[in-house]
Each structure stands twice: as structure tokens, then as C-alpha cells.
Amino acid sequence: MFAAKYIERAGRRGIRVPGDVKVIGCDGIQEHPYFHLILSTIRQPVEDMAHMTIRLLY
């Protein structure tokens, strides 16, 4: 949600995304129709990471 808020505030100040700045979010916010074309996102496999952590600990 930080990326979405930044894009909103940047737009109010006349800053174009992605024209003037690029924004990268995480955990899938790109699924929102408004952000689909202007926001790159990364997704972390949190569930897989949790399983691996448990496996390594025990």
C-alpha cells in the first residue's frame, strides 16, 4: 500500500508515474486494475519461506 499511496501523492504534485519516476511494489498490489500499467511488483514466496525455515530449524 505504500507504493499506491506514493503514486497517488506524486500525481497530486504533478509527478508522472512512470514518466518522471518509477515505482516498484511488493506482494502483488499490481493486481489492482489502476496500477496494472504503472507499477512493477515483486512477490515473495512467504509460505514457501516459512516451510523452509521450519524444515531448517527441526
pLDDT digit string (tens) for 11-47? 999 999 889 998 888 776 655 666 656 777 788 888 9
Confidence at residue 33, expressed as pLDDT on a 0 to 100 scale = 62
Rounded CA-CA distance 1/30 in Å is 10
What pTM was estimated for this model as a whole? 0.57
Domain ranges of the chain: 2-57
- Pairing of β 24-26 and β 40-42: parallel
**Total length of the chain:** 58
Q: How many CA atoms lie within 13 A of 50 on its CB side?
A: 4
